[in-house]
C-alpha cells in the first residue's frame, strides 16, 4: 500500500507532520480528517527503498555485466555450490548497484521456493524472455549447469556481434563530429578576425570570400542560436526515431539504403538464426522460440516478418514455405533453403546455428566494406568544406600582401 507524507494543523498555530499508509491520496486526506486534523499538505512519500529504486532505474545493467554474471553462476554451479549460496556470493562481489540489488532479489525469491527462471521473470529488462525460457528448460530437464554454459556462449557471441555493428558507426560519427566542430570554431571565432582586417584595408574581395564573411558575421552574433538550434534538431530527430512511427521509417530506410542495408540485414539474420537455434536446441517449442526470437530483433520490419512466420507455423505450414509464400520478405534464399533442409532432417536448431556462424563472418566483412567506403567519403566532404573556407579567406590575404609590397 502506498505511503503519504502529510502536514496537518492540530490546533491554532500548531502543526504536525508524519507518514501514513492509505489506498489513495483522497483516502489519506479523509483518514486525517477523521482523526481530527486539518490537512495542509498530503503527497506521496518517497521512502529510502523507493529512492533506491529510482536511483537504480538510472543505472543500467550492461550486456558485458550480464554475461559475466552467467559465467560466474555457471562456474559456481559446476563446482557444486548451492544456487542460493552462489547468488549470495555473486551479489557480494557485484560492482553495479542495480545488478547487486537484482541478484539479491533473485536469491530471496529462490529461498522462498521460486525457480531461478521464475525469479528472473520478475526482472524482464535485465533478463529477457530468451534467458528465462532457456533457464526454465534447463531446470525442467535437470541440466541447468549445461544450459548456463550455453547462455554464456550465446551471450559472448551476441556481444561480439554487437561490437562489430557498433564499430561500423564509431569512426564515421567521430569524423563527422570533429569536422563539424572544426567548421563551427573556424566560422564563429577564427575567421571573424580576418574579416576585421579585410574591412580595415577595404580590399576588393572575391565572391567566395564575401560569402564566408557574411557567414562569419552571422555566426559571430548568432552562434549561440545556431548551436541551440542544432541541439534542438538532434534531440527532435532522436525523439522521433524513438517513437513507433519514426522507428518504422528509420528501419525501412536502413533496409533500403545501399551498403548499410547489407550490414543491417546480415546482423539481423545472424541474431535471428543464433537465437532460434539456441532456443530449439534447449527444448523450447518452435512457436515459443519464434515468438521470443522475434522480440529480440532490433529491426521492426524483420520482426514483423518473424511474426508472419510464427502465424504460418501456427496454421500448420513450415517455416520455409511461409517465407517462400511472401514476396516482400527480406530473408535471403540461402536462409530459406537451409531452413527447408533443417525441417526435412529434423535438425533445424543445428542448421540455424550453422546459418548464424555463416552470417557472423558476413557481418564482419560487411562492416569492413561499409567502413572502407564511408571513411574516405566523409574525409573528402569535410576536406572540401574546410578547404573552401580556408582558401576563401587566404585569397584576399595574398592580394593584400602583394599590394602592400608594391
Instruction: Give the model confidence (pLDDT) of 88-108 as tens digits.
Output: 888 888 888 888 888 888 888
Q: Is residue 86 within 8 Å of residue 76, measured between CB atoms?
A: yes
Q: Between 3.30.43.10, 1.20.272.10, 3.90.1300.10, 1.20.81.30, what CATH number should domain 153-406 receive?
A: 1.20.81.30
- Mean pLDDT, the chain, rounded, equals 80
- Residue 33 CA to residue 373 CA, distance in Å, equals 73
Handedness of CA 159, 303, 366, 361 (dihedral sign): positive
- Residue 217 CA to residue 223 CA, distance in Å, equals 10
- Which residues 6+ apart lie within 8 Å of 376 measured at CB? none
Neighbour count for residue 323 (Cβ, 10 Å): 23
Same fold, 60-152 and 153-406: yes
| Position 213 confidence tier, pLDDT thresholds 50, 70, 90 | confident
> What angle, 0 to 180 degrees and rounded to 10, lies between the N-to-C axes of helices 191-201 and 348-405?
20
Can you give the pLDDT at residue 233?
92
Give CB contacts under 8 A, 24+ apart, made by 242-248. 247/300, 248/300, 248/301
| Position 232 confidence tier, pLDDT thresholds 50, 70, 90 | very high
Q: Is residue 184 within 8 Å of residue 390, measured between CB atoms?
A: no
Handedness of CA 301, 60, 359, 133 (dihedral sign): negative
Q: Which residues share a beta bridge with 20?
A: 4
- Please state, for a pLDDT cut of 70, what percent of the chain lies above it: 88
Can you give the pLDDT at residue 48?
47
Domain boundaries defined on the chain = 3-45, 60-152, 153-406
Distances (CA, A) of 374 to 5, 13, 183, 327: 58, 73, 20, 31
- Residue 112 CA to residue 117 CA, distance in Å, equals 14
Q: Is residue 386 within 8 Å of residue 182, measured between CB atoms?
A: yes
Q: What is the mean pLDDT of residues 32-59?
A: 61
Instruction: Give the model confidence (pLDDT) of 17-32 as tens digits.
Output: 777 777 667 777 777 7
Q: Is residue 249 within 8 Å of residue 243, measured between CB atoms?
A: no
Q: Between 1.10.10.10, 1.20.81.30, 1.10.8.50, 3.10.20.340, what CATH number should domain 60-152 receive?
A: 1.20.81.30
- Residue 42 CA to residue 7 CA, distance in Å, equals 7
**Cell 514455405, residue located:** 321
- Residue 31 CA to residue 107 CA, distance in Å, equals 38
Q: Is residue 135 within 8 Å of residue 145, measured between CB atoms?
A: no
For residue 243, give the 3-state DSSP assignment: coil
For residue 8, give the 3-state DSSP assignment: strand
- 2, pLDDT greater than 70: no
pTM beyond 0.95, yes or no: no
Listed in sequence order, the DSSP H helices in 243-332 are 244-254, 260-281, 286-296, 300-314, 319-324
Amino acid at each position: 500500500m502506498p505511503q503519504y507524507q502529510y502536514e496537518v494543523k492540530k490546533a491554532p498555530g500548531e502543526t504536525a507532520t508524519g507518514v501514513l499508509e492509505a489506498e489513495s491520496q483522497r483516502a489519506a486526506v479523509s483518514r486525517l480528517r477523521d482523526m481530527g486534523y486539518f490537512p495542509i499538505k498530503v503527497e506521496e512519500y518517497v521512502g529510502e527503498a523507493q529512492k533506491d529504486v529510482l536511483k537504480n532505474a538510472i543505472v543500467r545493467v550492461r550486456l558485458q555485466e550480464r554475461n559475466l554474471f552467467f559465467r560466474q553462476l555457471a562456474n559456481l554451479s559446476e563446482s557444486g555450490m548451492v544456487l542460493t549460496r552462489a547468488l549470495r556470493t555473486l551479489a557480494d562481489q557485484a560492482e553495479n548497484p542495480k545488478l547487486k540489488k537484482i541478484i539479491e532479489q533473485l536469491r530471496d525469491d529462490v529461498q522462498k521456493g521460486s525457480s531461478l527462471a521464475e525469479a528472473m521473470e520478475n526482472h524482464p529488462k535485465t533478463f529477457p524472455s530468451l534467458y528465462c525460457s532457456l533457464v526454465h528448460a534447463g531446470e525442467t530437464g535437470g541440466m541447468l549447469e549445461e544450459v548456463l554454459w550455453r547462455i554464456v556462449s550465446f551471450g559472448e557471441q551476441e556481444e561480439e556481434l554487437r561490437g562489430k555493428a557498433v564499430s561500423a558507426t564509431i569512426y564515421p560519427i567521430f569524423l563527422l563530429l570533429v569536422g563539424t566542430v572544426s567548421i563551427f570554431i573556424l566560422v564563429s571565432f577564427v575567421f571573424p578576425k580576418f574579416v576585421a582586417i579585410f574591412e580595415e584595408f577595404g580590399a576588393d574581395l572575391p565572391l567566395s570570400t564575401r560569402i564566408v564573411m557574411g557567414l562569419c558575421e552571422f555566426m559571430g552574433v548568432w552562434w549561440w542560436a545556431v548551436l541551440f538550434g542544432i541541439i534542438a534538431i538532434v534531440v527532435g530527430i532522436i525523439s522521433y526515431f524513438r517513437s513507433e512511427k519514426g522507428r518504422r521509417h528509420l528501419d525501412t530506410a536502413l533496409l533500403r539504403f545501399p551498403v548499410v542495408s547489407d550490414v543491417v540485414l546480415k546482423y539481423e539474420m545472424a541474431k535471428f538464426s543464433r537465437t532460434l537455434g539456441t532456443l530449439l536446441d534447449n527444448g523450447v517449442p518452435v512457436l515459443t522460440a519464434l515468438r521470443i526470437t522475434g522480440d529480440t530483433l532490433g529491426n521492426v520490419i524483420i520482426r514483423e516478418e518473424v511474426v508472419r512466420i510464427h502465424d504460418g507455423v501456427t496454421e500448420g505450414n513450415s517455416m520455409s514455405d511461409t517465407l517462400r509464400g511472401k514476396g516482400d520478405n527480406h530473408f535471403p534464399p540461402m536462409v530459406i533453403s537451409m531452413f527447408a533442409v533443417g525441417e526435412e532432417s529434423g535438425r533445424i536448431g543445428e542448421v540455424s546455428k550453422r546459418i548464424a556462424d555463416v552470417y557472423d563472418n558476413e557481418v564482419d566483412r560487411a562492416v569492413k566494406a561499409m567502413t572502407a567506403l564511408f571513411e574516405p567519403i566523409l574525409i573528402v566532404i569535410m576536406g572540401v568544406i574546410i578547404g573552401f573556407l580556408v582558401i576563401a579567406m587566404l585569397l584576399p590575404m595574398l592580394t593584400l600582401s602583394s599590394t602592400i609590397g608594391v
